[in-house]
Each structure stands twice: as C-alpha cells, then as structure tokens.
Structure 1
Amino acid sequence: MSEPVHIRRPRRWHIAVFLAPALLVYTILMVVPLAETLRLSLFTEQDQVRSFAGLSNFATLFGDPRWAQAFWNALLNNIEFFCIHMAVQNPVGIALAALLSVPRLRGRAAYRTTIFMPTMLSFVVIGFIWKLILSPLWGVTPSIMAAVGLKWLFGPWLGQEDTALIAVSLVSVWQYIGIPMMLIYAALLSIPEEIIEAAECDGLIGVAQFWKIKLPLIMPAIGLISVLTFVANFNAFDLIYVSQGALAGPNFATDILGTFLYRTFFGHQLQLGDQHMGATIATVMFLIILSVVAFYLLVIQRRMRRYEF
C-alpha cells in the first residue's frame, strides 16, 4: 500500500499583510490609551513624585464622601439619561422604521433623509440651536406653545434641576433617533418575502403582522441597538458640555460620568486637574460598559439565537 500523500496548505501571509495597517492604527489609538489609563489609575502623585498606589484611588472614589457623592450623582444621572433614550428613542425609532417600510408610503427616501439629518450635524450646532429654541427670553418655544394654548406648561427647562436632565436627554433623542430607525429599517427589509407572504395568506396584515411576525424576527437588531445605546450614553459628554457647561448645571443636575471625568482629569475653574483620579473614573466607566456588553453577548444574545429561524 502506498503511503497517503499529505498536501501542505499554503500559508496565507497576505491576510496578515492586509490586517497589519488596521491593527496598527487600532493599537495606537485604542489599546495603548486604554492600557495607559489603567496604569494611571494605579498610581498617585504628590509633590511631582509618582508612586504606586494600588487600588487606593478606587477606595478614595467610593469611600471619600466628597468623591463618592459626586460619582454616585453622575452615575444615577447617567442611568436616567440612558433610560430616557431606551424609553423614547428606540421605541419611536422602531415605529418610524415600521412606517417607512410600508410599500405604499410615498416619499420614503425624503422622510428617511429628513429624520437622519440631525445625526450628521455637529453637537455644537445642536446644543447651541436648542439653547436658543428653549430660551425663555428669545426662544421660539414660548410663542409656539402660546399659539396652541399651552403657554402655561412652558418653563425654563434647561435651568431647573428637576427638568434639565430630561430636556437635554430629549434633545439627544431628537438628534440620534435616526440611527435606530435606519438599523431597524434595514432589519425589516432583510426579512424574507416568503415569510411575509405566508403571514398574509394566514390573514395577518398591518399592525398584527408587525407584532406577531416582524417584531420577533428583528429582536436581534433591537438587542444590538440597545447595547449601542448603552455604550453611547455612558460615553456621552459633548451635548451636555455644550448646552450646560463643564459644571453640568444647574447644581450638577445634568452631571454624568463624562462631564465628571472631564472636570476631574483636566480641572475646571478653581478645581485642579488630577489625571490619576480621572483615570480611575475612566476605568470604572470602562468596567461598567464592559460588564454590560459581556452580559449581553454571553447571556442575552445566546438566548436570542435559539429562537432564530
């Protein structure tokens, strides 16, 4: 008997060549700064002398009343900021995507462009425009509400502690609602026509078809959008900084982890910057985001795959 011939597979070096530039850029812009942030959180500096501190910075963040009060206030505001997006942005985005997927709707392309356009605008422009719109002195909101008989509901929403965070959150929802709309719209278009035709043969049309057929099929896309919303909201900074300033007023009512990190790391007004405590806050933010994303990937997404067709 002749011995079996072993065919050596060629080594695909071209894959590494093509991946190397992207991997290099990702390492420089993402991995190195992350590693440096984690390293800074383990050190402290006094009289320009840096020394290893272990987890003492984390103990200060959670144990010192001054730091702990500011941190928990920012974290709770961040959770509320995220919950408003989940309760308003994603359901409305799903509803808009469902309406735009109706074949008989005219001007769908124009509607999609109009709704998605705020997403492409600068956050500086968005923050400045909405501060003008909501201003009690020169904004158009009081006159519009007076025209429809609702002037009594108007108030300086950005200047009141009870309403400032809600107002900024809704502005953020208005800006970014095009993202879940387009992702859900793409998921709806990817549903096979055979499934839709079978549902129509069974008498499922309109809203009933969406709830019983389309919605279960786009649940993976909805889960992905929820995770992306969480990551974006817990990395948020720009809109609140533009509209409410670095102090996230009034009285830190709109302070979230991003603005808290900015003031701690770079300093503001009479507060000196502390890069080690700032890195500690950034590390906590990273761990929060990592834990939630890992839970989604390892638990929720696996359960969703069991029900996929």
Structure 2
Amino acid sequence: MAQRKPFRWHIAVFLAPAVLVYTAIMIVPLIGTLNLSLFNLTEAGERVFVGLRNFATLFGDPRWSESFWNALANNGWFFLVHMLVQNPVGVMLAALLSSPRLRMAAFYRTAIFIPTILSFVIVGFVWKLILSPIWGIAPGMLDAVGLKALFAPWLGREEYALTTLALISVWQFVGIPMMLIYAALLSIPDEVIEAAEMDGVTGWSQFRKIKLPLILPSIGIISILTFVGNFNAFDLIYVSQGALAGPNFSTDILGTFLYRTFFGFQLQLGDPHMGATIATAMFGIILVGVCVYLFAIQTRLRRYQF
C-alpha cells in the first residue's frame, strides 16, 4: 500500500500573507463593485435591487451611452497609439541597445528608462508647460530649427489633444517594453547567434529571422500589459486636462468618465451605482481582452527552451 504524501504546510504558510493582502485590496473591492452595480437608489433614498438595469441604462440611454461610447472610442485610440508607437519603438531600442558594438549602452538604457519612474503629476505638469503657446519652450525650439509654422496648441484642440497625450504617455513608458525586450534578447544563447553568423545571417536579417521569433512571447506579454494599462489609464488625462477631459470631452476616457460619475464633479452629483456599473464594464472589457490573448494568441506562440 502506497504511503500518503504529507501535506506541505509550509507552502500554505508562505502563500497566506500574499493571498490575504491580494484578497483584501483586490478581490473584496471587486466583489463590492459588482454588487453595487446591481442596485440603485429610489427617490426616497432606499436601496433596491435592479439587476442589469443599470447596464441597460449605460448602453442604451442617450444621456449615458453617448459619453460611454465616446470614452470607449477614445480609450481604444489611446491604446492603439501605444501599440503602434510605443511597443515597436521599444523593440527597436532594445535591438539597438543589445548590440555589442554600441558604446555607452548602459547610459542610454538609464536615460530612456528614467521617465518611467516619474510621477504622473510631474509628467503632466511639465509637458503642459513645454507645450504652452504662451510660456512654453516648444514654439522656441521649433523656431530654432525653422519649423515654428508647425506649432499649434495641441492640448487645446479637439483633434490633437488625445493623440498628444498618448504620445506623452509613450515617451514616459517606452522604457518598459524596451527593458523587457532587451532582457529577452540577452537570454538568447550565443550559440544560436554564432550559428546564424556562420550561415551568413547578420544585421537586420538576423533580427527578423532569428531573434524576432524567439522574443515573440515577450512581445505578446508586453502587448497585453499595454492593453490592461491603457484601459485603466486615468492619471495623465486628469492631471493634464482635468476631470472634464477637455477640450469638449475629446480626451475623455473610461477612467475620467468613471471618476466624474462615481464621485461627481462641479455641478454633477456623484452616483456610486452608475459609477460601479462603468467600473464593471471596464472590468469586462479588460477580462475579454486578456482571455482573447490567453486562448487565441498565447497558445500559438511557441516558447523555446534552451
């Protein structure tokens, strides 16, 4: 008769603190938010169960749906700019910095990564000063190279404001994909690179045919982190454009829309139940995106073991 393996209590002991903290700050608030979205207040101030009626109001009532779909579309564009600019630039920088011929690579890595550790308040305030048409340095810098005619109050125009803020966010966080891809490139064994060089595969061809397939899993992880981070974005928009996400809500994203709805702003009263409904919708969007990545993309990415 086979002996029963003893239960490893030390595993539970070591996991317990992390599980308790995660449950307290993540799971419990999430359940509370989901519960709050299923209730509403009557005119008498009584809390009543309404089921999915708040979601029907959010998606179907013009008073709510117009703002929601506008914020969702802006969030989608905010994410798309990061995917098309931040991640490719991060991969390119990582490829350049991983070259053994590059001098002062450590200095460049540090300089590019420093904005990542800066506060959103500092980044938003500094870039507002830089881009100000009154006292900003951007007009003077463009004038110095003969391009002053290209300057415009980018944060003050509806057609430019969101893209400008997205590019500011790219400038701040491009160091994260750069460092992750840089680490993935360094993990490629020298034998693989040497074999490619012996076959005459060098330069861009080597990166495209050898290195890029090996770092695809890392690129996939960066992409899903970008998706989650951008659909949780709030700080930069709030600091730069305020809770109203001006001009004329052109920079309004789900985070600022949630803030105004839940806490209220100026003459708008806060509505915790509709705010929780928006938060639940955000959670659903992120959950769907993560599931699509895990089950449709991640399973197709081949991981190489060395």
Fold match (TM-score > 0.5): yes
Q: How high is the TM-score relative to the length of structure 2?
A: 0.98
Partner of 1:62: 59
TM-score by length of 1: 0.97
- For 1:59 and 1:6, locate their aligned partners in 2 and report how far apart those are by CA, in whole Å: 58
Q: CA deviation at 1:308?
A: 4.2
- CA-to-partner distance for each residue in 1:98-151, whole Å, 9 max, x for gaps? 000001111111111100000000000000000000000000000000111110
Q: CA deviation at 1:48?
A: 2.1
Query: Following the alignment from structure 1 to structure 2, what is the Cα–Cα distance between the partners of residues 289 and 8?
Result: 42
Distance 1:59 1:11 in 2: 49
Q: Please name the residue that 2:209 is paired with.
A: 212
Give yes or no for the alignment of 1:33 onto 2:50. no
Matches of 2:46 and 2:7 in 1, distance apart?
A: 51
Of the three residues 152, 171, 190, the one matched with 2:187 is 190
| Number of residue equivalences | 304
How much does 1:162 deviate? 0.3
Counterpart of 1:7?
Answer: 3
- Determine the structure 1 residue equivalent to 2:248: 251
Q: Are residue 304 (structure 1) and residue 301 (structure 2) matched?
A: yes
Q: Which amino acid aligns with 2:113?
A: F
Q: Does 1:112 align with 2:88?
A: no
| One-letter amino acid matched to 2:15 | L
- Distance, in Å, in 1 between the alignment partners of 2:258 and 2:54 is 14
Written as runs of structure 1 = structure 2, the 5 A alignment for 1:5-154 is: 5-46=1-42, 47-154=44-151
Which of the residues 212, 221, 230 maps onto 1:233?
Answer: 230
Deviation at 1:218, TM superposition (A): 0.5
**CA distance in 2 between partners of 1:76 and 1:231 (Å):** 15
Alpha-carbon separation, structure 2, partners of 1:92 and 1:266: 37
**2:267 corresponds to:** 270
Which 4+ residue blocks in structure 1 deviate beyond 6 angstroms?
none
- The offset of 1:7, in angstroms, is 2.4
Gap regions ≥5 residues in structure 1: none
Task: Give the Cα separation in 1 of the matches to 2:3 and 2:109.
Answer: 54
Measured in 2, the distance between the counterparts of 1:7 and 1:76 equals: 60
Structure 1 letter corresponding to 2:63: R
Aligned residue in 1 for 2:158: 161
Deviation at 1:9, TM superposition (A): 1.6
Instruction: Give me the whole-angstrom Cα distance separating, in 2, the residues matched to 1:214 and 1:6.
Output: 48
Which amino acid is 1:156 matched to?
Answer: P
Whole-angstrom distance in 1 between the partners of 2:138 and 2:4: 73
Cα distance per residue 1:238-261 (max 9 Å; x no partner) = 000000000000000000000000
In structure 2, stretches of 5+ residues that fail to align are: none
Distance 2:232 2:90 in 1: 21
- Within 1, Cα distance between the matches of 2:91 and 2:10? 42
> Identity across aligned pairs (percent)?
70
Residue 162 of structure 1: SS of its match in structure 2?
A: helix
Q: Give the alignment partner of residue 202 of structure 1, picking from 188, 199, 203.
A: 199
